[in-house]
A and B are shown apart, each in its own frame.
Chain A
Amino acid sequence: MAKLARLQIDDGDVAGAIRGFLAGLLEGPSVGAVMAPRAVPSADNVVQTLITEPEELSGIDVLAPVMPINAARAVSRLTRIAPMDRPVAVVMRPCEIRALVELTKLKQADLENLIIIGFDCYGAQHLRAYAAAKRDGGGSTEEFLNRVSSDLLHESLRSACRVCERPAPETGDLVIGLFGADLNKELLLIATTEKGEALIDGLAAPEEGSDERRREALGEIMAAREKARDEMFASIEGEATGLEGLLAMLAPCINCHNCMTVCPICYCMHCFFDSDTFDLEGWKYLRRAARKGAYRMLPDTVLFHLGRLNHMASSCVACGACEDACPNDIPLLALFKTVGHRVQEAFEYVAGRDLDEPLPLATFREDELEPR
Chain B
Amino acid sequence: MSENGFEPKIVGFLCNWCASNAADLAGTTRIQYPPNIRGIRVMCSGSVDPAYILKALLEGADGVLVAGCHPGDCHYVSGNYKARRRVTALRTILRTLGLEEDRVWMKWISASEGKKFAETVDEMVRSVEALGPSPMAKCWSL
The interface residues of chain B lying within 8 Å CB-to-CB of A278 are: 55
Q: Which one of B51, B59, B93 lies within 8 Å of A313 (CB-CB)?
A: B93
Q: Given A278-B55, A364-B78, A369-B88, answer yes or no on A294-B140 (Cβ-Cβ < 8 Å).
A: yes
B54 x A306 contact (CB < 8 A): yes
Of the candidate stretches B13-21, B26-34, B96-104, B121-129, the one touching chain A is B96-104
Interface size of A in residues (CB-CB distance below 8 Å):
50
B51 x A272 contact (CB < 8 A): yes
Interface members, chain B 99-142 (any A CB < 8 Å): 99, 106-108, 135-142
Q: Which one of B58, B82, B96, B107 lies within 8 Å of A303 (CB-CB)?
A: B58
**B interface bracket (residues with beta carbon within 8 Å of A):** 35 or more
Distance, CA A338 to CA B138, complexed state (A) = 27
Q: Given A295-B140, A360-B85, A371-B106, answer yes or no on A242-B98 (Cβ-Cβ < 8 Å).
A: yes
The interface residues of chain B lying within 8 Å CB-to-CB of A302 are: 58, 142
The interface residues of chain B lying within 8 Å CB-to-CB of A289 are: 140
Q: Given A243-B139, A272-B51, A346-B88, answer yes or no on A309-B93 (Cβ-Cβ < 8 Å).
A: yes
How near does chain B come to A270, taking the closest CB pair, in angstroms?
A: 14
How near does chain A come to B135, taking the closest CB pair, in angstroms?
A: 5
Q: Does residue A41 face the partner (Cβ distance < 8 Å to B)?
A: no
Q: Which one of A245, A288, A347 lies within 8 Å of B98 (CB-CB)?
A: A245
Task: For A296, give the chain B residue with the smallest CB separation.
Answer: B141
A364 x B85 contact (CB < 8 A): yes
B142 x A303 contact (CB < 8 A): yes
The interface residues of chain A lying within 8 Å CB-to-CB of B72 are: 366
Task: For A307, give the chain B residue with the smallest CB separation.
Answer: B51
How near does chain A come to B55, taking the closest CB pair, in angstroms?
A: 6
Interface centre among B71, B136, B139 (most CB of A within 10 A): B139
When each residue 111-122 of chain A gets 1 if its CB lies under 8 Å from chain B and 0 otherwise, what string results? Answer: 000000000000
When each residue 5-23 of chain B gets 1 if its CB lies under 8 Å from chain A and 0 otherwise, what string results? Answer: 0000000000000000000
Residues of A whose CB lies within 8 Å of any CB of B are: 236-243, 245-247, 272, 278, 288-289, 291-296, 299-303, 306-307, 309-311, 313-314, 338-339, 342-343, 346-347, 360-361, 363-366, 368-372
- Additional A-B contacts beyond A241-B97, A339-B96, A364-B78 (17; CB < 8 A): A238-B96, A243-B135, A245-B97, A247-B142, A272-B49, A291-B60, A292-B139, A296-B140, A300-B142, A302-B58, A342-B92, A343-B96, A347-B85, A363-B85, A364-B82, A366-B71, A371-B106
